[in-house]
Amino acid sequence: MKNINGSCVAIGNFDGIHTGHDVLIRRMIELSHEKNQDSIIITFKFIKKDLRKSNCNIKYINSGNIKLELLKSYSVTEVEEILLDEVVSKYSPEQFIREILIDRHNAKNIVVGYNFTFGYKAEGNVNTLKKFQGKYGYNVEEIHPVKYNGIVVSSTLVRNLLNEGKIREANNLLIDNYTIFNEEINIDTNKNAAFVNNKSSIIVPPDGRYKIKMGNREMILKIASNRYGSVLTFGEKIENGNDIIFLDKVES
């Protein structure tokens, strides 16, 4: 049964849960408690090759399934993943507000980041949301940039750091250390190795040696790439079912 007081909604792509995302989501939850409203996180999935980001062959901090699991760990009323298909991707900003936020979720409070965009060709932004507040009866709260050492925290920044092998720096921005989850790759315990195909959507740090944790054990992981993908070789005998938690890069 829907909450008669409506809902409080946090919206974003949420690739990798970094400190900026955490501030936004926790503020939404706090506001939902203040207003006695449902707490809802809305995120997106690009499913057409010609849609924004999909055609760039972008690598993600987390796969789609892992992202949803991480968002659900906040224990909100609902986490919804909007499929940006040929229909929804062409919604005008007002159509998105009306059909997704109002008709579907009865949103009364909306919490978004300062750089949030939505609607066809990303024509909508925070100011667009504020423009329709009176018409649709909701309030908008804008979360300003969260900074670390004077630098704005973003998923793009985290991805760039991981792609450069700067694990410690990336971990400073993420809520939890960067992790390649067991279900995201195939680990061969007999060969004590794993292989990540180039077609995988997840980020694999560049070639080198890394200090990692699997289960309760710390060990060294060697990453070497070839034309087909990345080979991950573990320094100790491993067991299946453990995630690969990156701690730092080991200088050669």
Question: Do 109 and 30 fall within a single domain?
Answer: yes
**Alpha-carbon span 80 to 97, nearest angstrom:** 15
The first and second tokens of residue 49, run together, are 């090759």
pLDDT of residue 54: 44
Question: Do 137 and 197 fall within a single domain?
Answer: no
Domain membership flag for residue 122? yes
Domain containing residue 230: 178-250
Domain membership flag for residue 124? yes
Question: Do 86 and 24 fall within a single domain?
Answer: yes
**Alpha-carbon span 124 to 135, nearest angstrom:** 16
Question: Do 28 and 102 fall within a single domain?
Answer: yes
Q: What is the DSSP secondary-structure string of 47-108?
A: -STTSTTGGGT--BSS-HHHHHHHHHTT--SEEEEEEE-TTGGG--HHHHIIIIIIIIT-EE
Domain membership flag for residue 159? no
- The structural domain count of the chain equals 2
CATH number at residue 85: 3.40.50.620
pLDDT of residue 48: 53
Question: Do 140 and 203 fall within a single domain?
Answer: no
pLDDT of residue 55: 42
Question: Do 91 and 26 fall within a single domain?
Answer: yes
pLDDT per residue of the chain (252 residues) written in tens, 0 to 9: 678 899 999 999 999 999 999 999 999 999 999 999 999 999 998 765 544 444 446 789 999 899 999 999 999 999 999 998 889 999 999 999 999 999 999 999 999 999 999 999 999 999 999 999 999 999 999 999 999 999 999 999 999 999 999 999 999 999 999 999 988 888 888 899 999 999 898 999 999 999 999 999 999 999 999 999 999 999 999 887 789 999 999 986
Domain membership flag for residue 1? no
CATH number at residue 186: 2.40.10
